[in-house]
Amino acid sequence: MESAAAREARGAEAPRPPAPPPSPSEPPPTPRARPRLVFRTQLAHGSPTGKIEGFTNVRELYAKIAEAFGIAPTEILFCTLNSHKVDMQKLLGGQIGLEDFIFAHVRGETKEVEVTKTEDALGLTITDNGAGYAFIKRIKEGSIINRIEAVCVGDSIEAINDHSIVGCRHYEVAKMLRELPKSQPFTLRLVQPKRAFDMIGQRSRSSKCPMEAKVTSGRETLRLRSGGAATVEEVPSEFEEEASRRVDDLLESYMGIRDPELASTMVETSKKTTSVQEFARHLDSVLGEFAFPDEFVVEVWAAIGEAREACG
């Protein structure tokens, strides 16, 4: 039998409010609009400042620059970031800082030089612009090419023995030069970038491989890819920068090329693998056209591991 105290306590309980009706499903939030990425650009030998946007790879970048200045895209040899000089440490690679200023170096004078290959190596390091032109990135001190004053860093190699190499990748051009027979003269047809008055007579060369200058600004960069759309990414970590630099050094020593974008792609590939064998298989699937020798792949894997240890 319920006591009076129990009945009083039960009567004092506040009635529970009815459960609210289920709210109608809310539409998903509208994704934030991606900001327009607008870059400032000039022709390196002198021009008004133009603005470009809407490109996703190097070829489209060159087309936008060409459109801004009323020239053909094939007139552009290469681009540098934040400097109008032929400075290979400021060369545009696979990444552009969102505040970087782009300078386009266009075709200047054409010249032909005769070279006799008296040694196995000519002393050239080749890179390319990602749009069909291979050019000289470094000249080794004391080398065969170093003794030919007409050849300069920044010169585009247009033909070897009158055979056009326009459209060839840097590693293909480096291979052609390595395979030229010794003691037999050959000709190089070169195109030098058009220079402003204060750049006349400039002949830059290097026997060392200094760390590439950082060309990014802020915390984000626009990553240009040879295949697929460009993406806005965080500035590479200390490990990624150090590993890419070491891989780029190996590319130069093994193949006579420098290519920061290729080096970065190899570092990215390594992060998806746990052994050198798996790394080699992934490289074959992603970069099979390079046909990297096994000993090179092993050295790249070791260099990336050393960079990881060095950066903690």
By mean pLDDT, which of 1-5, 26-30, 162-166, 175-179 is the weakest? 1-5
Q: What is the mean pLDDT of residues 74-102?
A: 91
Looking at residue 107, what is its pLDDT?
96
Instruction: Work out the widest C-alpha separation in the chain, in whole angstroms.
Output: 119
* Measured CA distances, 79 to 8, 87, 158, 184, 235 (Å): 87, 10, 17, 34, 20
CA nearest to 164, candidates 145, 181, 189, 191: 189
- Going from the C-alpha of 304 to that of each of 17, 41, 136, 249, 284, the distances in angstroms are 64, 35, 26, 12, 18
pLDDT of residue 195: 85
For residue 261, is pLDDT > 50? yes
- Count the residues in the chain: 312
What per-residue confidence (pLDDT) applies to 25?
A: 56
pTM summary value: 0.73
